[in-house]
Amino acid sequence: MKQKTVRRVHHRHTAVRTRRTQTDGTYLVMVRGWMFIVMFAIMLGVGAIVGNFVNQQLNAAPQVAGVQTQR
């Protein structure tokens, strides 16, 4: 007569996994928020630099072949 074999099923606990993703999600949202703030500040800074440069070029006295003309 053939002997019966015992089959065991191992289940993983999903409670630990959900806790970890919740903390990771909060961290990710915080990092995204800071990245948005930093990128916005950098864009404002670059816009101010470019704006000052363009303003200086528009207000400069025009020159033709190294000779200043009257404005």
DSSP 6-41: P---PPPPSHHHHHHHHHHHHHHHHHHHHHHHHHHH
The answer, yes or no, to whether residue 70 has pLDDT greater than 70, is no
Distance CA 26, CA 32 (A): 10
State the pTM of this model: 0.52
pLDDT in tens, 5-39: 888 887 776 655 555 556 677 888 888 999 999 99
Burial of 67 (0-12, 13-18, 19+ CB in 10 A): exposed
**CB neighbour list of residue 63: distance below 8 Å, 6 or more residues apart:** 69
Q: What is the pLDDT of residue 60?
A: 84
DSSP 8-class letter at 66? T
